[in-house]
Amino acid sequence: MSEKILVTGAGGQIGTELVTKLVEKYGVDQVISSDLRISEGSQNTIQLDVTNKENLEAVCLEYGISQIYHLAAILSAKGEENPLWAWQVNMGSLFNVFETARKLNLTRIFYPSSIAVFGLEAPKKLTPQHAVLIPESIYGISKAAGENLANYYFKRYGLDVRSVRYPGLIGYKSLPGGGTTDYAVEIYHKAVLHEPFECYLQSDAALPMMYMEDALNATLQIMEVDSSRLSLRTGYNIAGCSFDPAEITESVRKYYPDFEVTYKPDFRQKIAESWPASIDDSIARNDWGWTPHYGLEEMTAEMINNLRKKYSGKN
Ligand code: NAD
Ligand code: SER
């Protein structure tokens, strides 16, 4: 039987691109996109607040959903502006997804976790999979709790939940929605538009990052692999590349030598300082063959080429 997929938070940075990949793989009629707000007339797209359990269950029944990619969440920077709301959305929606999946016997759930699960006590470089998790941000706390809930539903109810800890994601097709790593997308837009960039992180704030194409491949790969190959039901560490604002600036200046960057760190610097600088993803590589394909230079070339096309005529 073909899978029928519901994507929550589908209008966000990842959802916008993941839905296209899922449609390519499963067919347009097999993928239902949902978000709080939707643009009128979009095919197979519905309005759904996933904190409303009754509505989520009704949607799953109405469309015969068998899998959920649960992307809806409040990210790290937005979360610090209203921690209670972030907790309610991130944990409330996750309980609803897991309970609905358990009740309706859904076959598979994707839950995106984050490098934000780590805190100051974890090793900063090549942070191992099983480092201590004492996150500093409410977002990180919700992701660490969410991973444990995933593991609980798998062990207690046999719910087939799969999860990766995405690094900061960078793509040219969509804009980020309020995270600490958003600067690494904005910097490319500014360069291509010949505008100066003011960075809210310090020049040496190194973080794990990943090109969107790698992230989408990781997502599809972990969802396809045979269950017996997954030794973890929390969130797998996955690494792409790691760099700080000074290094990405250097990379961009190979295309725009006069690109101007100034630094004005704000509250996001503290969040960044609590996260790893790089990630050890050896367990994902061993378990399900995870391999990234984009380093900083390959990603810069892709971002700049594609943003030039997007903005052609405007600069
Ligand atoms: P985003 O902020 O761009 O999109 C999130 C979407 O969720 C938005 O479109 C928003 O409208 C929607 N949403 C919020 N509350 C909702 C609700 N109650 N009901 C339905 N929809 C709701 O986020 P993203 O970058 O696309 O991230 C998707 C997932 O991946 C999140 O769980 C995030 O924590 C995780 N993640 C993202 C990154 C990254 O760098 N983008 C890194 C690590 C983990
Ligand atoms: N990119 C995300 C954020 O900055 C990490 O989960 O919030």
Per-residue H/E/C for 89-145? HHHHHHHHHHHHHHHCCCCEEEEEEEHHHCCCCCCCCCECCCCCCCCCCHHHHHHHH
Give me the percent of the chain exceeding a pLDDT of 90: 97
pLDDT at 280: 98
Residue 12's Cα: distance from chain center in Å? 10
Give first-to-last CA distance, the chain, whole Å.
49
Backbone angles phi, psi at 218, to 5 degrees: -60, -40
Q: Which residue has the tokens 């993928």?
A: 31
pLDDT at residue 41 tops 80: no
Tell me if 178 CB under 6 Å of ligand 1. Answer: yes
Tokens of 173: 């097709």
- Ligand 1 contacts CB of residue 176 (under 6 A): yes
Q: What would the pLDDT profile of 272-284 be if each residue is shown by its tens digit?
A: 999 999 999 999 9
Report pLDDT for 313. 66
Q: Can you say whether the dihedral through the CA atoms of 169, 173, 174, 175 is positive or negative?
A: positive
Cβ-count burial 227-239 (b if 16+ within 10 Å, e if not): eeebebbbbbbbb
pLDDT tens-digit map of 98-153: 999 999 999 999 999 999 999 999 999 999 999 999 999 999 999 999 999 999 99
Nearest protein CA to atom 6 of ligand 2, as residue = 114
pLDDT (tens digit per residue) in 168-206 = 999 999 999 999 999 999 999 999 999 999 999 999 999
Q: Which of 186, 145, 194 is nearest to 315 (CA)?
A: 194
| CA of 51, closest atom in ligand 1 | 18
Query: Is the minimum distance from the CB of 7 to ligand 2 under 6 angstroms?
Result: no
pLDDT at 2: 85
Contact 34, 50 (CB under 8 A): yes
Residue nearest to atom 18 of ligand 1 (CA): 49
Residues in CB range of 275: below 8 A, 6 or more apart: 115, 116, 118, 180, 207, 208
Q: Check whether 43 has a pLDDT greater than 90.
A: no
Q: Cβ atoms within 10 A of the Cβ of 39, count?
A: 8
**How large is the C-alpha radius of gyration of the chain?**
19
pTM across the whole model? 0.97
Residue 183 known to be catalytic: no
